[in-house]
Amino acid sequence: MNPDASTIAAGAPIEVDLSPIAEGQDIKVFWRGKPIYISHRTKKQIEEARAVNVASLPDPQSDEARVKSGHDQWLVVIGICTHLGCIPIAHEGSYDGFFCPCHGSVYDTSGRIRQGPAPSNLAVPPYQFVSDTKIQIG
């Protein structure tokens, strides 16, 4: 009952062009049927994400560990709430990050869980920068 060959093949890596995304904007792309948020973070958002005491977080992880160094403005996360799989809404909630409408989990500008029932941070999918304005997810 595991995924069949065609499902696995359809889950191959995809390339996304980042150049049209202005600062402060984000886009949602689908990979393996999952929504992936790619946010072009503002200076303020990055500072907010780095200002917190990592040890005080429910799922401690530094912002540096969740983005690619040298591309700190780009946050790429799987837009699936780690509680029960709803899609959080970007730019909502009290931490300027994501807010899940189903059971009220709140994520910060680094996609880390800050409030609510979700047990862990929004997952970062495997990806790398092909060029400065293009990433490959998968």
**Residues noted as catalytic:** 103
Nearer to another protein, 7 or 131 (CB): 7
Instruction: Name the one range near another protein by CB under 8 A: 15-23, 46-54, 60-68, 98-106.
Output: 98-106
List the one residue from 19, 20, 22, 33 that touches another protein (CB under 8 A): 33
Nearer to another protein, 118 or 122 (CB): 118
* Calpha distance 50→54 (Å, rounded): 9
CB 119 within 8 A of CB 61: no
Count of residues interacting with another protein (CB under 8 A): 24
Hey, is 61 helix, strand or coil?
Answer: coil
**Residue (of 3, 31, 18) closest to 75 by Cα position:** 18
Considering the complex, what minimum distance in angstroms separates the CB of residue 21 from another protein?
16
Could you say whether residue 131 binds another protein (CB under 8 A)?
no
Nearby residues of 81 by Cβ (< 8 Å), 6 or more positions away: 87, 88, 100, 102, 103, 105, 118, 122
Q: How far is CA 113 from the centre of its chain?
A: 11
Site for another protein, residues 41 to 70, rule: CB under 8 A: none
Q: Which residues bind another protein (CB under 8 A)?
A: 1-4, 7, 11, 28, 30, 32-35, 83-87, 101-104, 117-119
